[in-house]
Amino acid sequence: MFGLWILFVLLLLYTGSIYFAVLPDPMKTRWMFVGGIAILSGSFLTLLISSFMTRTFQQPINQINQFLDELENNPLATIPDLEGPDAFHDLARRIRRIYEQRTDTIGELRVELGKLQAVLSGLEEGVLALDSAERIVFANERAVELLQLRQSDPRGARIWELVRHRPLLEACHKSRLTGAPVRLEVLWNGPPERQLVFHVASLGNVATSELDRGATVIGVHDVSELRRLETLRQEFVANVSHELKTPLAVIKVCVETLLDGAVEDVDGRGHFLKQIEDQGNRLHALIIDLLALARVESGSEVFDFQEIDLAESIADCMERLDARAKARGQTLAVDIHTSKGGTTIWADHESIRQILDNLVDNAIKYTPENGNVKVTLIPEGNRLRLAVKDNGIGIPHEDLPRIFERFYRVDRARSREMGGTGLGLSIVKHLVQSMHGTVEAQSEPGLGSTFVVRLPQANVPGKVSKTG
């Protein structure tokens, strides 16, 4: 507007100068005076119009520019109340509408981002996101733990600065080059040592505000327990196969011998029949122990918790096994110490019988003839301490940590000769733990062994409920 006004004044002056040139001198003086007055008046009027336009238009424009500058740094900036013509109010309303839509979108994105971060933080798997420059833009807590990153918040650091593992870095590089996901399983040095599986995937052409093209996402899964269980399963199958194969082989040989004519040998056939009976009993005992162990380990065993007098259970066990001990010239002794709490526990009656029979029977088996087996019951805090002690061959120190494993035997030949299945102590451990107790072994080679079971008393604070 101001430019048009100047152009108009210049055009007027040019036209006036042409007209002024042809006027006579007396008229020139008069028109010079009138022209000066006109120019001064026009200049003053121009200043007034410029001032009015500045106040009317420039101020809201400056307010809008200031708001837009602030909006670049602060998405939640407040739009000012604009002053000016209706057109500016319409513009302000439009800006406000766009601004509110943007604010709603940002709020929704923040909510979704919060949900996503909560999900990723709660995952059992670790998750890392890298940009194209291999800088970490996201890492959940599980990834920090599994990869043992030195920083709790590693964002901004390059992956190779924190993880010095060439196969993983090569997998990331390969995934970016080919665009195909890469699976990698490695033994990750500890402590503790872990078996980790990495799933590396490139985002390809997908781009976000933080993850540009060529970004990579790494999933980390700890399969240590899975591999351990797989190894245990393989060992278990191998052990069961071996334990079943040995007695079946003996039975098969004896039956074949009898069929070949030994059945007519009245004096000799008794030996083969006795072998078949012994191996059949061994198979029966093995199957019973396998079924019992499977029920306890799977949690499907139903326990009937009730008040049980442990002293009476010990006396019943001694009565059941007394004849076997006497046949070996051994002495069975019981030493029970009572206190205010008595000898009552919350337990399953059949489980207590199995625990006592296994421990005392093992003590009799591995104690030489004319040896001693002693069962002691002593109150210990709010628990009862049951100890089965013998003066037998003992257990080497290096074997003690493994004696509660399935099929583990210190002396395999001797155990099979005595009819052991290799499952008794494993069953004891699981039954004791199911009744909220503990079991441990102490031994000195050549001096004997002591197995200690601790079970909660029934009439003290903190007892086990009847429901287990």
**CA 447 – CA 26 distance, rounded (Å):** 149
Same structural domain, 352 and 271:
no
The residue out of 81, 96, 122 marking a domain boundary is 122
Residue 449, strand partner residues: 443
How many structural domains is the chain composed of? 4
Same structural domain, 360 and 429:
yes
On whether residue 466 sits in a domain, the answer given is no
Same structural domain, 65 and 162:
no
In which residue ranges of the chain is pLDDT below 50? 1, 207, 209, 413-414, 460-468
C-alpha dist (Å) from residue 51 to 66, 81, 316: 21, 22, 114
Range of the domain at 61: 1-122
pLDDT of the residue at 287: 79
The residue out of 298, 327, 342 marking a domain boundary is 298
CATH number of the domain enclosing 254: 1.10.287.130
On whether residue 464 sits in a domain, the answer given is no
Note if the bond before 191 is cis, omega within 30 degrees: yes
Same structural domain, 289 and 340:
no
At a CB cut-off of 8 Å and minimum separation 6, what does 111 contact? none
**CA 159 – CA 167 distance, rounded (Å):** 13
Terminal Cα distance for the chain, rounded: 93
On whether residue 47 sits in a domain, the answer given is yes
**CA 79 – CA 64 distance, rounded (Å):** 8
CATH number of the domain enclosing 316: 3.30.565.10
Same structural domain, 32 and 115:
yes
pLDDT in tens, 219-250: 999 988 888 878 777 777 777 777 778 788 88
pLDDT of the residue at 12: 60
pLDDT of the residue at 438: 92
Question: In the numeric block, which tokens belong to residue 122?
Answer: 């709660």
Q: Count of alpha carbons within 13 Å of 216, Cβ hemisphere only?
A: 29
Same structural domain, 93 and 181:
no
pLDDT of the residue at 351: 87
On whether residue 436 sits in a domain, the answer given is yes
Same structural domain, 103 and 153:
no
Same structural domain, 245 and 309:
no
On whether residue 86 sits in a domain, the answer given is yes
On whether residue 467 sits in a domain, the answer given is no
The residue out of 189, 222, 255 marking a domain boundary is 222
Same structural domain, 364 and 431:
yes
CATH number of the domain enclosing 157: 3.30.450.20
* pTM to 2 decimal places: 0.51
On whether residue 259 sits in a domain, the answer given is yes
Same structural domain, 317 and 443:
yes
Same structural domain, 182 and 316:
no
Same structural domain, 1 and 115:
yes
On whether residue 41 sits in a domain, the answer given is yes
